[in-house]
């Protein structure tokens, strides 16, 4: 047998305990056929084999986010200005101002998730007046975690909020002393007011949604992601809002593998939704690139305890158990796996009461199910999850809300939030992820930094010590595969498994913790095909697509902040402490020379710091 692709002279961390390291792999028909030394892989070389010298790069299995809203996020990615990783509020406002000038009527500028004020040098959020100054005529919507949104005057006009607009259930339109809306919306106790307001904005036409989804997948590939488990989401109706992803799958244009859960959209009609889906959707229908994965993360609206640590913990309604039980009963009867959003231990206790009651009457008997989040789950409830053979998908939401949690509950309580080490010690399956795109960043290296360093994106130390790097990587690869019932199929660099991998820009296992945040992939392979390449591998990179529409923020500011992108003899943004200095990628010197003609990512900001 001749291999189709051989990669050699690398440092492979396989996440396979039987063969933890290798220098080369051979790939055929989308799977690994040899993992070992260079000679073992080269023995499968044929006349048509593509051979890539990795030049000593660290290589890991393709990363797998156990909870990322890719399908919904892809539809909107080209509409969104991302502040993820931006080091100062001055930079963020400069980005917003520049985008407002490029955005045509009636479109909005939307900053939707993945940032908080603690990442900024100024340690504060923008004011509404600053948004008005940056964009006096273009509607601006800025989402802050799950707790609030800021709208400028133009946005208030187009959404129609006035002094006569009543507060919706569970939300507040903040008003001034004269009763006029200020532009701040507050979620109490859930984010419905935020998402319902965001949904008032214009959508992209189908052609642009296809382009938007492909741009998003390319950015995920750049970060080393090759798989995600899509948790559904609000305003993501099945099958209507799955048209784009189905189209891309049919055209074999997916570059990220997706296992999707179905998320009910109808309060008080949840059981009808799941009865309909279990009769019309075949469990695991699809293929290795797009496959159905079960129910959730919303099973019933009364069993959702949104994590807003600025607000007191919400008590779930008394009717929760009566509404959740028939849905869980139906799913177990139909042998449909399910996942359920749960933040607080108090909620988890009540949910487990329901699960155990159903199990006594209709045994789960190995049916895959899991909780998402579990920030404050207790040791007792971890044991109950294990007894029902469940799993826990953890996300890095504490990296973005840790400061708020500490302020409300204290630093001691934050030391095991979530208690990942206890979950692993109890033998519970654990998978890592982000809950992106609206709250957390989709960048897996932010999440891995949080797990390893124990710090928030603002630098606050949460945990006495982080996870070992090998453990954190396993949660993002082999661990996450359990949550789509694909253990043994992917998540390791191992003969017979899907050939998904990423060669890294820096060695995850040896760089300083702060440098983890800046890691990205320089060569991403999915199913034996190169889907992204940079640096010395750039000639192998598939051609990029033009961004549609051309005024999209993604055309100028693609994805996550890149502190070292294009720095060689080029300008980069510098406000206060230089991003280059912070991350140690280059030595820099500061200049007052104006930037006149630099195009691309850094040119959007007009910075006066040059790195050489």
Q: What is the pLDDT of residue 602?
A: 29
Q: What is the pLDDT of residues 171-204, one digit of tens each?
A: 999 999 999 999 999 998 778 899 999 999 999 9
Strand partners, 51: 6
Q: What is the pLDDT of residue 560?
A: 78
Q: Domain tally for the chain?
A: 2
With respect to residue 536, please indicate whether it lies within any of the assigned structural domains: no
Q: What is the pLDDT of residue 567?
A: 29
With respect to residue 442, please indicate whether it lies within any of the assigned structural domains: no
Q: What is the pLDDT of residue 188?
A: 85
Which of residues 306 and 363 earns the better pLDDT score?
363
What are the CB-based long-range contacts (under 8 Å, 24+) for 48-51?
Answer: 48/2, 48/4, 49/2, 49/3, 49/4, 49/5, 49/6, 50/4, 50/5, 50/6, 51/5, 51/6, 51/7, 51/8
**473 pLDDT above the threshold of 90:** yes
Q: For all residues of the chain together, what is the average pLDDT?
A: 91
Q: What is the pLDDT of residue 59?
A: 99
Residue reference for tokens 């998908």: 393
Question: How distant, in Å, are the alpha carbons of 175, 263, 294, 401, 499 from that of 298?
Answer: 32, 5, 11, 22, 32
- Which tokens sit at 533? 């390449």
Average pLDDT over residues 309-323: 94
Q: What is the pLDDT of residue 51?
A: 98
Q: What is the pLDDT of residues 532-541, one digit of tens each?
A: 999 999 999 9
With respect to residue 424, please indicate whether it lies within any of the assigned structural domains: no
With respect to residue 235, please indicate whether it lies within any of the assigned structural domains: no
Among 140, 141, 234, which residue's Cα sits nearest to residue 192? 234
Angle of helix 270-280 versus helix 320-333 axis, rounded to 10: 10
Burial 284-299 (b: 16+ CB within 10 A, else e): eeeebbbbbbbbbbbb
- Which tokens sit at 245? 């992803």
Residue reference for tokens 């400061």: 403
SS3 for 365-426, per residue? CCCCEEEEECCCCCHHHHHHHHHCCCEEEEECHHHHHHHHHHHHHCHHHHCCCCCHHHHHHC
Give the whole-number percent of the chain exceeding pLDDT 70: 92
Q: Residue 153's domain is classified under what CATH number?
A: 3.10.310.70
SS3 for 534-581, per residue? CHHHHHHCCCCCCCCCCCCHHHCCCCCCCCCCCCCCEEECCCCCCHHH
- CA 474 to CA 531: how far, in whole Å? 22
**432 pLDDT above the threshold of 90:** yes
- DSSP letters spanning 277-316: HHHHS-TT-B-SSEEEEEE-S-S-GGG-----TTSPPPPP
With respect to residue 232, please indicate whether it lies within any of the assigned structural domains: no
Q: By the 8 A CB rule, do 158 and 139 touch?
A: yes
Pairing mode, strands 63-65 and 225-230: parallel
**574 pLDDT above the threshold of 70:** no
Which strands make up the sheet holding 521-526, listed edge to edge?
A: 21-22, 11-13, 58-61, 501-504, 521-526, 529-533
Per-residue pLDDT band at 491 (split at 50, 70, 90): very high
Contacts of 561 (CB under 8 A, 6+ apart): 82, 83, 84, 85, 86, 87, 579
Residue 546 CA, chain-centre distance (Å), reads: 24
Threshold 0.85, pTM exceeds: yes
Q: What is the pLDDT of residue 576?
A: 31
Q: By the 8 A CB rule, do 451 and 467 touch?
A: yes
Q: By the 8 A CB rule, do 263 and 297 touch?
A: yes
Q: What is the pLDDT of residue 561?
A: 77
Per-residue pLDDT band at 563 (split at 50, 70, 90): low
Per-residue pLDDT band at 590 (split at 50, 70, 90): very low
Per-residue pLDDT band at 557 (split at 50, 70, 90): confident
Task: Give the residue from 160, 183, 198 where a domain finishes.
Answer: 198
The range of the structural domain enclosing residue 603 comes to 562-612
Helices (H), 172-242: 192-198, 206-222
Q: What is the pLDDT of residues 270-296, one digit of tens each?
A: 999 999 999 999 999 999 999 999 999
On the CB side of 516, CA atoms within 13 Å amount to 23
**382 pLDDT above the threshold of 80:** yes
What's phi and psi for 226, nearest 5 deg?
-125, -15
Average pLDDT over residues 155-173: 95
The CA-based angle 589-590-591, given to 5 degrees, is 125
Task: Give the residue from 198, 219, 246 where a domain finishes.
Answer: 198
With respect to residue 178, please indicate whether it lies within any of the assigned structural domains: yes
**597 pLDDT above the threshold of 80:** no
Q: What is the pLDDT of residues 94-134, one digit of tens each?
A: 999 999 999 999 999 999 989 999 999 999 999 999 999 99
Q: By the 8 A CB rule, do 462 and 404 touch?
A: no
The CA dihedral of 370, 457, 492, 369, to the nearest 10 degrees, is: 0
Among 317, 319, 388, 327, which residue's Cα sits nearest to residue 352? 388
The answer to whether the bond into 106 is cis (omega within 30° of 0) is yes
With respect to residue 111, please indicate whether it lies within any of the assigned structural domains: yes
Contacts of 583 (CB under 8 A, 6+ apart): 514, 515, 517, 518, 563, 564
What's phi and psi for 280, nearest 5 deg?
-115, -15
With respect to residue 450, please indicate whether it lies within any of the assigned structural domains: no
Q: What is the pLDDT of residue 234?
A: 86
Q: What is the pLDDT of residue 254?
A: 98
Task: Give the residue from 163, 198, 233 where a domain finishes.
Answer: 198
What are the CB-based long-range contacts (under 8 Å, 24+) for 479-482?
Answer: 479/66, 479/429, 479/430, 479/431, 479/432, 480/64, 480/65, 480/66, 480/227, 480/229, 480/393, 480/431, 480/432, 480/433, 481/64, 481/227, 481/431, 482/368, 482/391, 482/429, 482/431
- Which tokens sit at 60? 């890991």
- CA 152 to CA 136: how far, in whole Å? 8
């Amino acid at each position: 047998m001749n291999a189709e692709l051989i990669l050699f002279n690398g440092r492979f961390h396989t996440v396979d305990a039987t063969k933890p390291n290798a220098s080369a792999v051979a790939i055929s028909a989308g799977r690994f056929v040899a993992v070992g030394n260079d000679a073992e892989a080269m023995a499968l070389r044929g006349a048509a084999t593509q051979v890539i010298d990795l030049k000593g790069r660290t290589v890991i299995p393709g990363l797998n986010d156990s909870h990322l809203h890719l399908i919904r996020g892809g539809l909107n990615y080209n509409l969104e200005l991302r502040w993820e990783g931006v080091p100062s509020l001055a930079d963020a406002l400069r980005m917003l101002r520049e985008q407002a000038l490029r955005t045509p009527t009636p479109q909005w500028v939307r900053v939707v998730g993945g940032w908080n004020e603690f990442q900024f040098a100024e340690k504060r959020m923008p004011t509404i007046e600053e948004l008005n100054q940056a964009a006096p005529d273009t509607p601006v919507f800025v989402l802050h975690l799950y707790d609030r949104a800021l709208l400028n005057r133009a946005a208030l006009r187009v959404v129609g909020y006035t002094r006569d607009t009543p507060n919706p259930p569970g939300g507040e339109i903040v008003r001034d002393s004269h009763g006029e809306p200020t532009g701040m919306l507050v979620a109490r106790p859930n984010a419905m007011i935020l998402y319902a307001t965001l949904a008032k904005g214009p959508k992209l036409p189908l052609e642009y949604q296809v382009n938007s989804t492909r741009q998003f997948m390319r950015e995920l590939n750049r970060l080393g992601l090759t798989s995600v488990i899509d948790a559904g989401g609000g305003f993501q109706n099945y099958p209507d809002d799955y048209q784009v992803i189905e189209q891309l799958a049919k055209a074999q244009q997916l570059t990220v593998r997706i296992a999707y859960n179905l998320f009910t959209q109808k309060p008080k009609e949840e059981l009808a939704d799941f009865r309909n889906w279990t009769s019309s959707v075949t469990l695991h229908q699809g293929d290795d690139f797009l496959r159905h994965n079960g129910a959730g993360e919303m099973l019933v609206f009364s069993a959702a305890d949104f994590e807003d640590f600025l607000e007191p913990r919400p008590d779930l309604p008394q009717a929760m158990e009566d509404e959740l039980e028939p849905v869980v009963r139906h799913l177990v009867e139909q042998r449909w796996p399910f996942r359920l959003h749960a933040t607080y231990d108090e909620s988890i206790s009540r949910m487990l009461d329901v699960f155990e009651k159903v199990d006594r009457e209709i045994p789960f008997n190995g049916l895959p199910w899991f909780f998402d989040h579990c920030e404050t789950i207790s040791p007792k409830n971890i044991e109950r999850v294990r007894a029902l053979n469940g799993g826990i998908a953890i996300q890095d939401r504490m990296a973005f809300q840790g400061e708020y949690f500490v302020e409300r509950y204290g630093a001691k309580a934050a030391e095991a939030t979530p208690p990942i080490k206890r979950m692993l010690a109890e033998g519970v399956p654990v998978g890592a992820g982000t809950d992106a795109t609206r709250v957390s960043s989709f960048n897996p290296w932010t999440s891995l930094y949080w797990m390893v360093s124990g710090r928030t994106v603002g630098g606050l130390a949460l945990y006495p010590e982080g996870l070992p790097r090998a453990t954190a990587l396993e949660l993002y690869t082999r661990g996450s595969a359990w949550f789509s019932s694909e253990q043994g199929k992917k998540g390791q660099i191992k003969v017979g498994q899907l050939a998904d991998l990423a060669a890294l820009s820096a060695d995850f296992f040896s760089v300083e913790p702060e440098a983890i945040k800046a890691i990205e992939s320089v060569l991403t392979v999915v199913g034996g095909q190169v889907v992204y390449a940079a640096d010395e591998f750039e000639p192998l990179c598939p051609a990029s697509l033009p961004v549609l529409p051309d005024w999209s923020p993604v055309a100028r500011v693609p994805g996550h902040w890149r502190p070292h992108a294009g720095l060689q003899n080029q300008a980069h943004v510098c406000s206060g402490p230089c991003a280059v200095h912070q991350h140690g990628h280059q030595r820099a010197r500061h200049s007052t020379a104006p930037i006149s003609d630099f195009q691309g990512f850094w040119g959007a900001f007009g910075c006066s710091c040059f790195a050489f």
